[in-house]
Amino acid sequence: MFGIRVFLQKFLILLHVTMSVVVGKTLMILFPDAMRRYILKQGEKSRMNENPKFSYENWGPTFFSFKYLLFVLKVKWKRLEDEAYEGHPAPNTPVVTFNGEVRHLFDFMQENRMPI
């Protein structure tokens, strides 16, 4: 039952992301100037437009590409693994240490308890 749930969730994510990419790519082809303004407006929220070395021409066309689709799917599917479900094992979520090393939560467990 749990495997079917994950499969259905992944399938629904695939449908959603694929439709978003198709619609976004279509809009970029039909209305390139409007989409450029829209993407730049979204960039203002994350402050990425403040970097002078980061121009739209370098990264804008990558939106709604096949690589974009694969990246978004990978991230969204990975997040499914980080969800906890009652009656199932807790996820072993990756974390980054102060040294930049990627570890997992279970690496820090001692005798079934997290250290204080």
Number of domains in the chain: 1
H or E segment and range at residue 108? none
8 A C-beta contact, residue 69 and residue 18: yes
Q: Which residue has the higher pLDDT, 70 or 90?
A: 70
DSSP character at residue 116: -
Residue 13 in any domain: the answer is yes
Q: Residue 30's pLDDT is what? A: 95
C-alpha–C-alpha distance, residues 58 and 72, integer Å: 19
Full domain range(s) for residue 48: 2-88
Sequence-separated (6 or more) residues with CB below 8 Å from residue 114: 105, 108
pTM score, whole prediction: 0.62
Region 6-12 average pLDDT:
90
Residue 48 banded pLDDT, cuts 50, 70, 90: low
DSSP character at residue 105: G
